[in-house]
Amino acid sequence: MKDLSKVKKDKKGYYIERIAYDIKMKKNYLGKIYGWLKTCSVCNKPYFVSKDQIKRGFGQSCSRHCAKMGSNHPRWGGGRTKSTDGYIRIYMPKHPRCDPNRYVYEHRLVMEKYLGRYLKPEEIVHHKGTKYPIDSIENKQDNRIKNLMPFKSVGKHLNFHRLQKKETKKNKHINEIIKELPVRI
């Protein structure tokens, strides 16, 4: 039940009032349905569940949507997926910076564990490219701590890339000059 304003409490416990039809008397009457107030394990919202719903095996979550979330979903793959841009995402519904689908990038989780705190939204985790080429999908999935580098802002991360590009251009220029030098025997 979504609207908790209708939930009341008396000596027996929590209840809601519903209009019911008595077959013998052939008229409607106001009945009480007893149950409990619970907290949804998926979305942490309070909800009312009747004793009858629990007997029938329902009432484990606040809605059908929440009942089919995470490991309860028929297509659950273990909570580890690849994003469209090649990064690995981990299902963590209680993480403060999870996306609307309740996933967090694995490289951010690895860096948070290493630093011992949650990363701020403006902080960026860069893949160095120690084992695989920088732009490759393998590098985006190489989440070892020695392949990750934290930046305090997007601007500092972009400056790092600019400096990196300048150095590679210099190295190419130096390599071209070396190739033109005569070989000494």
Which whole number is the average pLDDT over 130-139? 72
Q: How far apart are CA 108 and CA 151, in angstroms?
A: 11
Q: Which two tokens stand for residue 57?
A: 């095996």
182/112: higher pLDDT: 112
Q: Which two tokens stand for residue 147?
A: 């392949």
DSSP assigned state of 3: -
pLDDT at residue 110 is higher than 60: yes
Pairing of strands 14-22, 27-39: antiparallel
Q: Which two tokens stand for residue 70?
A: 């995470």
pLDDT, tens only, 70-87: 777 777 778 888 888 889
Q: How far apart are CA 71 and CA 160, in angstroms?
A: 40
Average pLDDT of the residues of the chain: 79
Residues with Cβ within 8 Å of 169's Cβ and at least 6 positions away in sequence, in order, are: none
161/95: higher pLDDT: 95
The amino acid occupying position 40 is C
Q: Which two tokens stand for residue 146?
A: 């020695």
Start-end of H helices in the chain: 51-55, 64-67, 106-115, 137-140, 154-180
The amino acid occupying position 94 is K
pTM: 0.59
Residues with Cβ within 8 Å of 149's Cβ and at least 6 positions away in sequence, in order, are: 125, 126, 127, 128
- The domain limits of the chain are 4-58, 106-177
CB-based contact 14:37 (threshold 8 Å):
yes
Q: How far apart are CA 89 and CA 61, in angstroms?
A: 25
21/69: higher pLDDT: 69
CB-based contact 16:8 (threshold 8 Å):
yes
